[in-house]
Amino acid sequence: DAGVIQSPRHEVTEMGQEVTLRCKPISGHDYLFWYRQTMMRGLELLIYFNNNVPIDDSGMPEDRFSAKMPNASFSTLKIQPSEPRDSAVYFCATRRGNGNTIYFGEGSWLTVV
Amino acid sequence: ELKVEQNPLFLSMQEGKNYTIYCNYSTTSDRLYWYRQDPGKSLESLFVLLSNGAVKQEGRLMASLDTKARLSTLHITAAVHDLSATYFCAVVPLLGTYKYIFGTGTRLKVLA
């Protein structure tokens, strides 16, 4: 079974550009989480979905960030406009409804210059 | 706001030695998770602890949970170089949410 698939793996963009990160969850997993990891702030939960519905977005840093899950197989995290302080690794993670463990993707390494 | 703290943040130890990493959390929970992250890699699940007194062991690692003290420990026995990584604990609050809140991480370096 394929794991959580994220794209792009690496992205370098200029300040002010729009960035879209993508995630394909493990089949059958109905919870999806977006995390951001930086040296200064560690692993921060940005938002999570259950059955494609956003449940808690209290960790989304500001209006420049938005996340969607149009169907059970796909989610996006968008930053518009991007700023240098958004540089981080963004992880997508998923779990089954009756499971416990969350499984992480390989991450998207974002650098905003 | 739930806080999850780990100590130490950094740990350098000799091969063959024993050590313990501590994870304290600030709210009621009966679900605690340990993950490992190698440099530049994703997070890998190590242990799931689901009740007070739970103990899990895998190889040289043993994790335990004391929900009354709001404390989990990750004990390393006879460390080997391959255990060098960053270890995270994560907690899910008891009150009907699925917010996995991660600790600060402990960066472990095992010296040969």
Other CB atoms within 10 A of residue B56 CB: 16
pLDDT band at A2 (very low <50, low <70, confident <90, very high): confident
Residue in A31, A43, A101 nearest the CB of B33: A101
pLDDT over 80 (residue B96): no
Report the gap between the CA of B28 and the closest CA in chain A (Å): 17
Task: Give pLDDT, residue A1.
Answer: 64
DSSP 3-state of A97: coil
Task: Please give the structure tokens belonging to residue B8.
Answer: 């130490």
| Contact list, A101 vs chain B (CB under 8 Å) | 33, 45, 48
Residue in B42, B99, B105 nearest the CB of A48: B99
Task: Give pLDDT, residue A66.
Answer: 97
Q: What is the mean pLDDT of residues A1-20?
A: 95
| Contact list, A56 vs chain B (CB under 8 Å) | 97, 99
Cβ atoms of residues B107 and B42 within 8 Å? no
Report the gap between the CA of B89 and the closest CA in chain A (Å): 11
> Which residues touch A27 (CB under 8 Å, ≥6 apart)?
A1, A2, A73
Interface of B with A in 18-57 (CB under 8 A): 31, 33, 41-45, 48, 50
pLDDT over 70 (residue A6): yes
Task: Give pLDDT, residue A90.
Answer: 98
Q: What is the pLDDT of residues A69-83, one digit of tens each?
A: 999 999 999 999 999
Identity (one letter) of the amino acid at B18?
N
Q: What is the pLDDT of residues B17-40, one digit of tens each?
A: 999 999 999 988 878 999 999 999
Q: What is the pLDDT of residues B35-91, one digit of tens each?
A: 999 999 999 999 999 888 899 999 999 999 999 999 999 999 999 999 999 999 999
Other CB atoms within 10 A of residue B36 CB: 19
Q: What is the mean pLDDT of residues A25-32?
A: 95
- What would the DSSP string read from start to end of B32-52? EEEEEE-TTS-EEEEEEE-ST
The reply to whether residue B42 touches residue A31, judged by beta carbons under 8 angstroms, is no
**Dist CA B26 CA B97 (whole Å):** 15
Sheet holding A74-79, edge to edge: A5-7, A19-24, A74-79, A65-71
The reply to whether residue A45 touches residue B31, judged by beta carbons under 8 angstroms, is no
Q: What is the mean pLDDT of residues A48-66?
A: 94
**Dist CA B64 CA B53 (whole Å):** 7
